[in-house]
Structure 1
């Protein structure tokens, strides 16, 4: 499914986890293509959950383990979603969570290009159909390190309040430290909201913003860098649970805006 506005074009794949498969700005692809491509949704948890286990009150739950000894990136990135509505520059989608998630619930994503094609807004919602449960939501975009037009590699600019110390198992230790230089596979706290600028010098500037207070930066691959706004840190179902209740769904938005530097 393609959405268009101004000189921007977004391709969404509802059958493949409601992934943003492509973002082309002025004809230039910004997201990585190939096996690990686009931007996928992380729900009902983000990053790794230790041992795939978490508690809801006094009850222990086991998730499928798919990253070493951990469960990673939620349950929806490979599942088909349904399209609720669409027009030329926006669309809404939903997916109903079932087994192995213990609670019947619904996830929604709204994808909307700005009218003039200068930005993209993504909004996630998680609603329970019955009982309350802890959850997280976020996005995992693969931004191209180099746009392939002979220019320089992308640079990142952000000012986090702290960095979550990463243990040998890639999970936060619970200790907050001063932000350290990359390369990163790390979670950062931004209590005033995520605000990260990607710059391809002389080509394009793209800002990732969100009222979410956590961002994971992953830049350890040659082809791409990841800037991942999310509602809690890795293993957050255990350390920073956010309860979804019948009267209080989980909602989070990220806005990507861009401008040409040519």
Structure 2
């Protein structure tokens, strides 16, 4: 079952049964996202990227997560479950899912989609039903490198303050280094907020912004470029825990704004 939103020339399809991911985003009939059940744009929650060896500590307790990307746990559980629809109009949709085993804490995640003629805003909130717990949230969009067969490839423009040094196990070492040339599977710090522009020459410019201060860029595959705004770095459950408390839920949002170049 899918939910479809439209505004002007923009059309959004949400597959709530498959991790509440965006399965399609079309602008004037042109598909921006790589197609396939594992692609589109999926939510990363209640953690983002890799959690080292699937383990994280909360106080004196060490929790073990399933190793869904051995030797690590990756991208959370939200992309693997069906979400429940809560509200929808022609341009807005809201979905929820309840955190449950194997995540060790009860809570609820809410995801809101708001589509306009030239922008899409995504918001995700994580709240607890009881005890406080560390969590992260973000999005993993798989943008098409080319919008048409043989068409120009996307050009990436951003100015991060630093790059998280990546160890041989793909986990950040804790060192901040000057940004290196791509291709990347790397996390970058943008303390003034995420601001990344993808440009398909002669076709479309897409600006990805967020008040979040972290973004992962993954462009090692030939068909796609991933720009992933998120509330903390990979392995952040261990290195930069952000507690969700009864009075302080986690909320993160991102806006994708497009401009037609043709």
Say yes or no: TM over 0.5: yes
The match for 1:228 is 228
- Once the two structures are TM-superposed, the CA of residue 36 in structure 1 deviates from its matched residue by 3.2
Map 1:58-97; keep pairs closer than 5 Å.
58-97=60-99
Q: Secondary structure at the match of 1:60?
A: strand
The match for 1:203 is 203
CA distance in 2, matches of 1:35, 1:165: 31
The match for 2:5 is 3
| 1:46 equivalent among 45, 48, 52 | 48
Provide, for residues 99-127 of structure 1, a one-character-per-residue CA deviation record: whole Å limited to 9, x for no partner.
0111110000000102xx10000000000
Q: Secondary structure at the match of 1:238?
A: helix
CA distance in 1, matches of 2:166, 2:150: 35
- Please list every run of at least 4 consecutive aligned residues from structure 1 whose deviation after the TM superposition is greater than 6 angstroms: none
| 1:103 equivalent among 102, 105, 110 | 105
| 1:36 equivalent among 38, 42, 56 | 38
- Once the two structures are TM-superposed, the CA of residue 76 in structure 1 deviates from its matched residue by 1.1
Q: Secondary structure at the match of 2:238?
A: helix
- Once the two structures are TM-superposed, the CA of residue 150 in structure 1 deviates from its matched residue by 4.3
- Once the two structures are TM-superposed, the CA of residue 143 in structure 1 deviates from its matched residue by 0.2
| 1:55 equivalent among 57, 79, 88 | 57
The range that moved more, 143-152 or 185-194, is 143-152
- Once the two structures are TM-superposed, the CA of residue 37 in structure 1 deviates from its matched residue by 1.7
Q: Secondary structure at the match of 2:79?
A: coil
CA distance in 1, matches of 2:51, 2:38: 21
Structure 1: runs of 5+ lacking an equivalent: none
- Once the two structures are TM-superposed, the CA of residue 254 in structure 1 deviates from its matched residue by 0.3
What TM-score do the two structures reach when normalised by structure 1? 0.98
What TM-score do the two structures reach when normalised by structure 2? 0.98
1:202–1:261 contact (8 Å) kept in structure 2: yes
The match for 2:183 is 183
Structure 2: runs of 5+ lacking an equivalent: none
CA distance in 2, matches of 1:197, 1:80: 31
Map 1:154-173; keep pairs closer than 5 Å.
154-173=154-173
CA distance in 2, matches of 1:73, 1:34: 17
CA distance in 1, matches of 2:37, 2:243: 34
The range that moved more, 145-154 or 167-176, is 145-154
Provide, for residues 155-191 of structure 1, a one-character-per-residue CA deviation record: whole Å limited to 9, x for no partner.
1000000000000001100000000000000000000
CA distance in 2, matches of 1:78, 1:29: 23
Q: Secondary structure at the match of 1:222?
A: coil
The match for 2:247 is 247
Please give the root-mean-square deviation of Cα atoms over the aligned residues, in Å. 0.7
2:184–2:220 contact (8 Å) kept in structure 1: yes
- Once the two structures are TM-superposed, the CA of residue 149 in structure 1 deviates from its matched residue by 5.2
CA distance in 1, matches of 2:10, 2:37: 23
